[in-house]
Amino acid sequence: MAKVLIPTPLRQYADKRDSVELTGATVAEVLGALTTQYPDLRKQIYNDEGKLRSFVNVYLNDEDIRYLKKEATSVASNDTLSIVPSIAGGSTGVATPPATLSNDEILRHSRHLIMPEVGIEGQLKLKNAKVLLVGAGGLGAPLGLYLSAAGIGRIGVVDFDVVDFTNLQRQVIHGTKDVGRKKLDSASERMRDINPNVQIDRYEVALSSENALEILSGYDLVVDGTDNFPTRYLVNDACVLLKKPNVYGSIFRFEGQATVFAYPGGPCYRCLYPEPPPPGLVPSCAEGGVLGILPGLIGLVQATEAVKLILGAGDPLVGRLLLYDALAMRFRELKLRKSPECPACGDHPTITKLIDYQQFCGIPQHQPAPEPGLAQGEIDPVDVKKKIDRGDRFLLIDVREPHEYQICNIPYARLIPLGELPKRVHELDSAIEIVAHCKSGVRSAKACDFLRQAGFRKVKNMKGGIVAWSDKVDPRVPKY
């Protein structure tokens, strides 16, 4: 006789009994005997095709039968069968780590499961893992795609940027249709499409000294896909303070780097670079350019390291800086040592809490005043105001987002967000002079370039954007 344990929610279908002794040679026979004795239970456990429902797990002693030989598994007397349905309840808000994979997940991840280095155990580790992705841009794109596909159970994404046309050359998680959308929206939509089982936590913020510890503390490891020095140091210091591995990658033109920082016993970013370069010395990708494919390769090195760390498999890229030169098609590896003098992870750390990273990197808190004088194709806001007052025939377009338009706007301007410009270009008359503005002049410069390429000849960029308008023309317009 085998014993079948009936869980609380199902006892109402089994005369309120908590266990039943039954005979049968296999799991299927024992469950058959059970549901013959209690026909109402049958509907709860089996679907119309006679298959075990996906939210019902059956354990033989302490093994999940789906990983044995399913219902054909033989049952000896004194064995215990437990029926364990999934339960939606629990009011603490703390999810219990999933102990099993659903049949869908088993099928989805079958190429992992048949590898001894992963298997069910490894796939469950991935499912229970929580990874924070800082940035949904160049590096974040392949990371988001592959970490979702790999079955990481929970992925946090920190990003507050909007997709633009210049992103599409490398940020393959976003599509042309996503231009103008929040990167968080477009990335999480794509990740969910790849793997609906992934829980995506969205952080539409700039990571800062105020929020970093709180955000990072919810994750097992951090993958740094940022593009600026202040955030690099912030992520590093927060990871060191929280003792969480920081999977690092960086890219510039044809060259990339990757390593794992803040791993127990290993070096951190400050061991390598105690201080940032002076601002302006190392150009950003926006200034210096980047081969679109490069972040794909470096991001996938990071994704590989993240998965290895979760699985505990192989040799992590700790204490080794991987250098990749795409032009030479050469990988090199440099030894990295943990520095006893490191201000973050050394013997006498001075970084015991997060600091002001903008200041640390020598970046002024406010935008520097624009250079005096106008470049070609620019117009001063004062002259735009004169044109409006004179009643000149021209069109002023505001290429910011609608929510920015709500914060402040120039009543004369027509709102055409930069992302919508390509599909709304037919609304514009190339015979009439067009002046474009945005917040500070960067996006409207892109709009002007786009329009010029589209054949518009009389196009001007309002220098300094609506911020300059507020300074020079109408101080009632709020700056944001």
Q: Which residues bind Zn ion (CB under 5 A)?
A: 268, 270-271, 342, 344-345
Candidates 171, 287, 156; CA nearest to 217 is: 156
Shorter beta-carbon distance to Zn ion: residue 265 or 391: 265
Shorter beta-carbon distance to Zn ion: residue 85 or 274: 274
Shortest Å distance, C-beta 331 to Zn ion:
24
Shortest Å distance, C-beta 341 to Zn ion:
9
3-class SS at 169?
Answer: coil
Shorter beta-carbon distance to Zn ion: residue 326 or 355: 355
With b meaning 16 or more CB within 10 Å and e meaning fewer, what string describes 436-469?
Answer: bbbbbbebbbbbbebbeeeebeebbbbbbbbbbb
3-class SS at 162?
Answer: strand
Shorter beta-carbon distance to Zn ion: residue 269 or 456: 269
Q: How far apart are the two ends of the chain, measured CA to CA in Å? A: 74
Shortest Å distance, C-beta 340 to Zn ion:
9
Residue reference for tokens 């040799």: 315
DSSP line for 187-223: HHHHHHHH-TT-EEEEE-S---TTTHHHHHTT-SEEE
How many residues are given for the chain?
A: 480
Candidates 233, 242, 249, 241; CA nearest to 133 is: 249
Q: Select which of 268, 345, 361, 438 is catalytic.
A: 438
Shortest Å distance, C-beta 271 to Zn ion:
3
Asked if 361 is an active-site residue, the reply is no
Shorter beta-carbon distance to Zn ion: residue 150 or 342: 342
Shorter beta-carbon distance to Zn ion: residue 154 or 244: 244
Helices and strands in the chain: count of H runs, count of E runs: 18, 18
Shortest Å distance, C-beta 349 to Zn ion:
8
* Dist CA 174 CA 303 (whole Å): 18
* Dist CA 380 CA 435 (whole Å): 10
Q: Select which of 239, 268, 271, 285 is catalytic.
A: 285
Tokens of 424: 């709304």
Shortest Å distance, C-beta 224 to Zn ion:
15
Shorter beta-carbon distance to Zn ion: residue 173 or 342: 342
Shortest Å distance, C-beta 140 to Zn ion:
24
Asked if 285 is an active-site residue, the reply is yes
Shorter beta-carbon distance to Zn ion: residue 123 or 231: 231
Shorter beta-carbon distance to Zn ion: residue 13 or 263: 263
Three-state SS for 50-69 is CCECCCEEEEECCEEHHHCC
Shortest Å distance, C-beta 79 to Zn ion:
54
Q: CA-CA distances (angstroms) from residue 27 to 33, 75, 269?
A: 10, 6, 55
List own/partner pairs for 409-416 with CB under 8 A and 24 or more apart. 409/466, 409/477, 410/437, 410/466, 410/469, 410/474, 410/477, 412/388, 413/437
Shortest Å distance, C-beta 226 to Zn ion:
18
DSSP 83: E
List own/partner pairs for 117-121 with CB under 8 A and 24 or more apart. 117/311, 117/313, 117/314, 118/311, 118/313, 120/67
Question: 271: which residues sit within 8 A by CB, 6+ positions away?
Answer: 336, 337, 338, 339, 342, 344, 345, 346
Question: 179: which residues sit within 8 A by CB, 6+ positions away?
Answer: 163, 164, 165, 168, 418, 419, 422
Q: CA-CA distances (angstroms) from residue 224 to 66, 415, 426?
A: 37, 35, 41
Tokens of 335: 């030894």
Q: Which residues are known to be catalytic? A: 285, 438
